[in-house]
Amino acid sequence: MRKRPFKQIDVFTNTPFCGNPVAVVLDAQDLRTDQMQAIARWTNLSETTFVLPATHAQADYRLRIFTPVRELPFAGHPTLGSAYAVLESGMVNAGQATLIQQCEAGLISLTRDKPADRLWLRAPALSTTPLSEAQQASLNKALGVSCIRPALRIDVGPVWITAQVAHGEHLLSACPDQLAIQRISEELNATGITVFGANDDRAGFEVRSFAPLHGIAEDPVCGSGNVCVAAFLAAHGSRTPYEARQGRAIGRDGLIAVRYLNNDIEIGGQCVTCVDGFLYG
């Protein structure tokens, strides 16, 4: 049996057992795709990642990202957590201020903000498409709470139907219909639905993400979903930096920082290691 370095990192928090966990297999060179998928199914986390040598001259490493049921071209919290893992393990020089991750979505730039103890990623290019009136009506019914603006289908690698409700408290008390969300996701070829509403506390917004089509009833703290929230706000004329909270509805409170750089969106967060050891297989 092969002994592989393995870490589990909580992302968007510096408190163990909060935020969103990602499993990181740090030596995946000889694993087949079906073996990676089997490991991701076994960890049963929203994402499991596999670190490989880069094949692009500019990249520090290559990353493959899996949900329990399929591979993703890009995801936010796995990108930040995996970067934290390769830095902590010494696979990449811990003194580097900038990292380049190679993934199916292309090259992802990451920066370290040591004073704030945060890692930041620059999101890949995205595209937005409006929903039809019938699709919007189905979405409102599935969420159990009405949107205050028309929702958008936003493709950032993962595809999130992104919607805004009046207030974060409405969102925290909502009980969405998972089967209806799955049907909408299938119809629109989407990863799932990300919903947000304004908060009254330090974080400007409350966020929830639902992806039953990927075997994830609710993602604790979703990086790509928060990229889509930022894109939604930018589409409505707001490009002010802010922080968002996600995960409180399921006991996994996380804090996501968002900023805009020219036409790019960057999201940042803290990370903490909860498991450090080996995977055998």
Whether 206 is catalytic is no
Residue 226 DSSP SS3:
helix
Using DSSP, state whether 14 is helix, strand or coil: coil
Distance CA 179, CA 183 (A): 6
> Which DSSP string do the residues of 30-67 spell out, in sequence order?
T--HHHHHHHHHHH-SS-EEEEE--SSTT-SEEEEEE-
Interatomic CA distance for residues 100 and 56, integer angstroms: 10
d(C-alpha 170, C-alpha 2), whole Å: 49
Residue length of the chain: 281
Gap between the Cα atoms of 146 and 234, Å rounded: 21
Residue 76's closest CA among 219, 178, 198?
Answer: 219
The single residue of 47, 206, 218, 266 carrying the catalytic annotation is: 47
SS3 269: strand
C-alpha separations of 42 from 179, 199, 210, 211 in Å: 24, 36, 20, 18
278 alpha carbon, distance to own chain's centre: 24
What letter would DSSP give residue 240? -
Which contiguous run of DSSP H or E holds residue 232?
helix 223-235
Q: Known catalytic residues?
A: 47
